[in-house]
């Protein structure tokens, strides 16, 4: 029986229709993925707004702050009393292009400082020369060759007007500094290793002490803390956290909460302060907590701690630690104090072999950063930026390596002793 063959022209047309239909189906399946992939490939996160320059104009009756920026921002503006200050919170703003450019006070503003306040957030703090009210805050769009600008006008007022302005802006200010609430009891320890929290002092808008040659305390202590943390981690014997690992401001209360939330077994706050009236004083000091300062120098450093909070635009009356009268807390604090003293003694002994120490190197004062009742804590002054000999040491790599090694040895011996004394 002969084979039946379809007409070749019909067969070719049929094949073409099938192929075209298949291509349409394939494109239909691939189309959403193709569009999505294109969108993914072309997406770029928006660039952070940058501050290009700042200046102050006006006189003792009306003063204007002008900030040149690369884009829009939504500032928070507040005033604080005692001392009287103007605060500009600037979410999404980086001051990096401005570097360390100094802005001189003028008119109603006696001093002006700026810097990072939190990740992705800048802050300006202006000390006020008189009572003021905030007259106007404007965002001006870029025009021709002029950048976008934030303009703020202050006008002179009286005490009653300033007090009313403080109250008007207080609620939004407190909301701006409110830290996320964490329940420390809900945080499970993932390791049986001792937990050490290292706290590099200052940061961000709070530079801390500054040497005559321009060395900043916040930079010195961060570099030291990073090396110290790396040295401890390398032993494999400790779980180590840092309250900050970059140039960001953290309030004192936030540093204490960090140690508590991480269930720290030891908290070490690292500083390199300045003593303008005692430039001949040099060497390291170890401080533990006490209700009353052990000496004039210790009290001056406590005052510096409070001053740093104010310079960064914190309302220290709102962030003061609340002391709770509770028998259990008091007993915990006593046990913690015993451990803090034990570590301080070990630390003085080890560091004395590595660096110069002040006379009577173990001292005490009421540092707020040491007030977690359940965490053994010390504040370590590495040296004084007011003394040029100390500045040379604090910026020397060999000194830092030697001192870090001594500090790590002290930490190891402290926990060995605790294990030996455990019931």
pLDDT above 60: residue 101: yes
Higher pLDDT among residues 42 and 137, named by residue: 137
Same domain, 194 and 268: yes
Would you say residue 261 lies in a domain? yes
Same domain, 345 and 247: yes
Beta bridge partners of 148: 69
Q: How confident is the model at residue 37 (pLDDT cuts 50, 70, 90)?
A: very low
pLDDT above 60: residue 319: no
Would you say residue 43 lies in a domain? no
Last-in-domain residue among 177, 199, 227: 177
Same domain, 162 and 235: no
Q: How confident is the model at residue 328 (pLDDT cuts 50, 70, 90)?
A: low
Same domain, 194 and 288: yes
Higher pLDDT among residues 183 and 265, named by residue: 265
pLDDT score for 315: 77
Strands (E), 104-157: 109-118, 121-128, 132-140, 148-156
| CATH number of the domain residue 74 falls in | 2.60.40.3500
**Residue from 151, 149, 154 nearest 132 by CA:** 154
Length of the chain equals 423
pLDDT score for 87: 95
Q: How confident is the model at residue 337 (pLDDT cuts 50, 70, 90)?
A: very high
Sign of CA dihedral 198, 347, 409, 352: positive
Report the chain's mean pLDDT, rounded to a whole number. 85
Would you say residue 37 lies in a domain? no
Q: Average pLDDT, stretch 53-66?
A: 97
Same domain, 165 and 192: no
pLDDT score for 6: 41
Question: pLDDT tens, 70-86?
Answer: 999 999 999 999 899 99
Same domain, 129 and 65: yes
Sign of CA dihedral 390, 282, 100, 318: positive
pLDDT above 80: residue 118: yes
Q: How confident is the model at residue 422 (pLDDT cuts 50, 70, 90)?
A: low
Would you say residue 30 lies in a domain? no
Same domain, 210 and 230: yes
Sign of CA dihedral 389, 391, 394, 399: negative
**Residue from 385, 378, 382, 389 nearest 403 by CA:** 382
How many Cβ atoms from other residues are within 10 Å of residue 46's Cβ?
7
Question: pLDDT tens, 349-401?
Answer: 999 999 999 999 999 999 999 999 999 999 999 999 999 999 999 999 999 99
CA torsion angle for 209, 211, 216, 219 (degrees, to 10)?
-110
pLDDT above 60: residue 125: yes
pLDDT above 60: residue 36: no
- How many structural domains does the chain have? 2
pLDDT score for 26: 40
Same domain, 210 and 153: no
Last-in-domain residue among 152, 177, 202: 177
Write the DSSP symbol of residue 275.
-
pLDDT score for 317: 60
Which strands make up the sheet holding 76-80, listed edge to edge? 76-80, 85-91, 121-128, 109-118
Same domain, 167 and 189: no
Q: What residue numbers bound the domain in which 200 lies?
A: 185-421
Q: Average pLDDT, stretch 1-23?
A: 43
Same domain, 171 and 270: no
Question: pLDDT tens, 260-318?
Answer: 999 999 999 999 999 988 888 999 999 999 999 999 999 999 999 989 999 898 876 64
Would you say residue 392 lies in a domain? yes
Residues 119, 254: Cα–Cα separation, whole Å = 14
| CATH number of the domain residue 348 falls in | 3.40.630.40
Give the three-state DSSP class for 122: strand
Would you say residue 76 lies in a domain? yes
Would you say residue 202 lies in a domain? yes
| Burial (CB count within 10 angstroms: exposed 0-12, middle 13-18, buried 19+), residue 414 | buried
pLDDT above 60: residue 30: no
pLDDT score for 398: 97
138 token code pair: 């404007």
Q: How confident is the model at residue 173 (pLDDT cuts 50, 70, 90)?
A: confident
pLDDT score for 407: 98
Per 3-state DSSP, the chain is made up of helix, strand and coil in percentages (nearest 5) of 40, 25, 35
Last-in-domain residue among 177, 197, 228: 177
pLDDT score for 212: 93
Q: What is the largest CA-CA distance in the chain?
A: 120
Give the three-state DSSP class for 86: strand
Same domain, 249 and 313: yes
Would you say residue 118 lies in a domain? yes
Same domain, 76 and 118: yes
């Amino acid at each position: 029986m002969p084979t039946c063959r379809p007409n070749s022209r019909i067969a070719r047309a049929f094949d073409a229709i099938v192929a075209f239909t298949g291509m349409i189906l394939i494109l239909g399946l691939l189309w959403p993925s193709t569009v999505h992939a294109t969108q993914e490939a072309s997406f770029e996160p928006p660039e952070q707004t940058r501050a290009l320059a700042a200046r102050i104009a006006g006189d003792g009756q009306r003063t204007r702050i002008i900030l040149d920026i690369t884009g829009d921002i939504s500032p928070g503006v507040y005033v604080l009393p005692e001392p009287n200050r103007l605060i500009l919170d600037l979410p999404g703003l980086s001051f990096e292009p401005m570097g360390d450019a100094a802005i001189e006070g003028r008119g109603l503003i006696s001093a002006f400082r700026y810097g990072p306040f939190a990740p992705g957030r800048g802050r300006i703090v202006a000390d006020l020369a008189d009572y003021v009210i905030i007259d106007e805050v404007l965002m001006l769009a870029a025009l021709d060759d002029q950048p976008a600008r934030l303009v703020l006008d202050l006008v002179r007022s009286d005490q009653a007007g300033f007090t009313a302005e403080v109250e008007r802006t207080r609620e939004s200010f407190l909301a701006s500094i409110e830290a996320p609430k964490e329940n420390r009891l809900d945080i499970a320890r993932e390791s049986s290793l001792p937990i050490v929290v290292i706290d590099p002092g200052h940061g961000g808008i709070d530079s801390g002490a500054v040497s005559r040659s321009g060395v900043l305390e916040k930079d010195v202590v961060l570099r030291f803390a990073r090396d110290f943390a790396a040295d401890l981690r390398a032993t494999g014997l400790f779980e180590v956290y840092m309250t900050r690992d970059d140039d960001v401001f953290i309030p004192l209360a936030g540093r204490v909460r960090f140690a508590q939330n991480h269930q720290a077994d030891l908290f070490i706050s690292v500083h390199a302060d300045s003593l303008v009236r005692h430039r001949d004083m040099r060497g390291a000091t170890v401080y533990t907590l006490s209700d009353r300062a052990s000496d004039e120098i210790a009290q001056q450093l406590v005052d510096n701690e409070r001053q740093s909070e104010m310079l960064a635009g914190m309302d220290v009356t709102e962030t003061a630690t609340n002391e709770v009268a509770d028998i259990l807390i008091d007993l915990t604090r006593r046990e913690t104090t015993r451990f803090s003293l034990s570590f301080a003694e070990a630390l003085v002994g080890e560091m004395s072999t590595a660096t110069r120490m002040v006379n009577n190197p173990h001292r005490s004062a009421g540092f707020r950063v040491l007030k977690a009742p359940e965490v053994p804590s010390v504040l370590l002054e590495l040296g004084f930026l007011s003394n040029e000999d100390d500045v040379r040491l604090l910026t020397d790599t060999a000194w830092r390596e030697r001192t870090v090694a001594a500090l790590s040895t002290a930490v190891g011996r402290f926990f060995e002793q605790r294990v030996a004394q455990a019931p």
